[in-house]
Amino acid sequence: MKHIKISILLITTIITGLLSSCSYERSSTTGWEFNSVANGGFEKKAYEEQETGPGLILVEGGQFTMGRTEQDVMYENNNTPRTVTVSSFYLDETEITNHQWCEYLYWTGRTFTDFPMIYKKALPDTLVWREKLAYNEPYVEYYLRHPSYRDYPVVGVNWLQATNFCAWRTDRVNEYILVREGILVLNPNQQNNPFTTDAYFSGQYEEGLNEAGQMPNLDPSAASGDKSRDMGVRSVRMEDGILLPRYRLPTEAEWEFAAYGLIGNTVDGRITERRLYPWNGHYVRNPDDRWQGSMMANFVRGRGDYMGIAGNLNDNADVTAPVISYWPNDYGLYNMAGNVSEWVMDVYRATSSEDVDEFRPFRGNVFKTKVLNTEGSISDKYDVTVYDLDGIKEYLAIFKDEREGDIDRMHGYENRTNKVDELEQLLLTAIDERVTEAFKLRDQKQHLQAAEQIQMIFDEVFEDINSQIQQKPGYEDYELEIIPMLRDGISDFVLNTPGNIKMREVTTEENIKRRNYRVSDNIDELDGDLRSSLYYPGSDMGGPMVEEINGGTKKEDWVMYQSGKDQSLAGARNPTTLVSDKSRVFKGASWRDRAYWMNPGTRRFLDEDLSTSTIGFRCAMDRVGSPTGLNSKRE
């Protein structure tokens, strides 16, 4: 037994010596070894390149002439051609489908059980199919959920909803990666406390951690009371390269670049043919002998011609078509012309092509940072739903105006009495009280309490008023008809959901020594808005002011584009222009457009909270590191 013990000790000593003599990679700066507990534990993880996220295709970037290539038949003069450079990025192979959106809805309804308004906010507007003089009710009822339309692009989705989908997709993909790597255990039940990437990075998501699969913590200075250090393990960090960047909407420049697919026309650093559409030539029919005459995309060929002739439906689609239809462009992207127009990130300005940077051009930057507590740590994540109070206040004012107008014009609905009108007024007064209280709390910097006041409208006010109605003689079976209207309307103003890290806009005080930017909101940069008023500079017209530069002032309700950004501004309900800071660009043609709009250089805009039956979207993702990939070869 003694000899056995000696042998084991000897073997252990030999193994330890071999391990200690192994050559670790050393820092070229200091000479210290990486990944060694003995000298502090600074890590350098083995890493090749970015993993390609589900559904994505790498779009190799480069320079191209962005802007108008077709005759400006709309006479908008809003897209002056200009050479710009786009970095490599990832883009969805297809538009987001109805089935993918239904997956999102299912997850949202199953997760936010205490916050049903979050699910309501995520619902597409299926009523966008309705036309006053057309029979489109089948699409209203069936298009989103019937399996026949499963692989068709989702529509009725506004820009805000598309952006929220991208955020949801980021978190679900990164959660899957952590489960796949054994760092998290599968945890499908996350009621009202879902996994988010930011919360995980900040150490505020610990549900479902697999202790056996955590990353080894090589920091020898274990802090007392820190459970992750005491266990000798740590959470995944960005430096590990395991989690993916965020899914997002593409910028206008990225979408336009990807749509052209000019990589197929590049020879020795030269673009041999600049395209009018995502394919070569000036025709919209396929010239190939096998497919000759077939339409290259889903669009309107002429007045009233949406699908061709019976027996020869040349695009085989009356409205939208399945997302994998027709021929992909040279990047392998489907339907970059026709089918549905697509949301992009940019805020619309007619002069953006003249103003934006020539490298990765984009208008819409509002720089934000994480909210910190007094100790300098990241503040606790949201555990309530946060609302746009200004938006709710404005909505309620318009709602009451419209409701009173209907009553005056119609002299009351059938079977409707003054008593019912009084009950409606009782409800609206109770809601006003909650909203007013929320504003007071917000002004006192008690944002979570303000959010709870709005939540009480759903949880208490609606139920309380309904209960009072039921107790009145003659109203036992009566339900106030405006409650579901208000429930849906207020849910549109959800700003943030439980599980998300708190963010705020950066301040000028934080950027005192910064030269590249000073303010957080740069949407109006170089667009002329600050000087758009006759009364700027040097106005003495009185009233609240929002700008003061070089002694000149600008009155709130004369600012050209601000009407769409802050509902509290004096001119918010009387905008001075159709373009505002809420106007978002959408690109490409839809099933209801002529061929002109299939040119990727065309651009249109719509308010970010509006939707149509012709606009969908696809997601993008940043490419980090090599623009071509480490395995690519250049001859």
CB pairs under 8 A, 24+ apart, for 160-164?
A: 160/608, 160/609, 161/121, 161/122, 161/124, 161/611, 162/96, 162/249, 162/343, 162/617, 163/248, 163/249, 164/121, 164/122
Q: What is the pLDDT of residue 540?
A: 42
Kindly report whether the global pTM for this prediction surpasses the value 0.85: yes
Domain ranges of the chain: 2-39, 98-247, 386-496
| Of 406 and 257, the one with more pLDDT | 257
Work out the mean pLDDT of the chain and round it to a whole number: 85
Q: How far apart are the C-alpha atoms of 22 and 34, rounded to whole Å? A: 12
For the segment 181-190, the average pLDDT, to the nearest whole number, is 91
For the segment 155-179, the average pLDDT, to the nearest whole number, is 97
Q: What angle do CA 280, 284, 288 make, to 5 degrees?
A: 65
**Backbone φ, ψ for residue 59 (5° rounding):** -105, 105
Q: How far apart are the C-alpha atoms of 486 and 436, rounded to whole Å? A: 17
- H or E segment at 546? strand 545-549
DSSP assignment string, 448-493: HHHHHHHHHIIIIIHHHHHHHHHTSTT-TT---THHHHHHHHHHTT
Q: What angle do CA 121, 127, 131 make, to 5 degrees?
A: 155
- Evaluate whether 86 touches 138 at the Cβ level (below 8 Å): no
Q: How far apart are the C-alpha atoms of 300 and 277, rounded to whole Å? A: 15
Q: Give the β-pairing of 615-616 and 341-347.
A: parallel
The two tokens of residue 270 are 């030269």
Mutual angle of helices 98-111 and 159-180, in 10-degree steps: 80
Q: What is the pLDDT of residue 208?
A: 84
Q: What share of the chain is helix, strand, coil (3-state, %, to 5)?
A: 35, 15, 55
pLDDT band at 418 (very low <50, low <70, confident <90, very high): low
DSSP assignment string, 351-397: THHHHS-SBS--S--B-EEE-B-TTSSBPPPP-S-EE-HHHHHHHHH
Query: Which of these ranges, 99-113, 218-232, 383-397, 536-550, has the smallest mean pLDDT?
Result: 536-550
Q: What is the pLDDT of residues 457-477, one digit of tens each?
A: 988 898 888 888 878 777 777
Q: Give the β-pairing of 270-271 and 266-267.
A: antiparallel
Is 80 exceeded by the pLDDT of residue 230?
A: no
- Evaluate whether 65 touches 82 at the Cβ level (below 8 Å): yes
Is 70 exceeded by the pLDDT of residue 530?
A: no
Three-state DSSP state, 552: strand
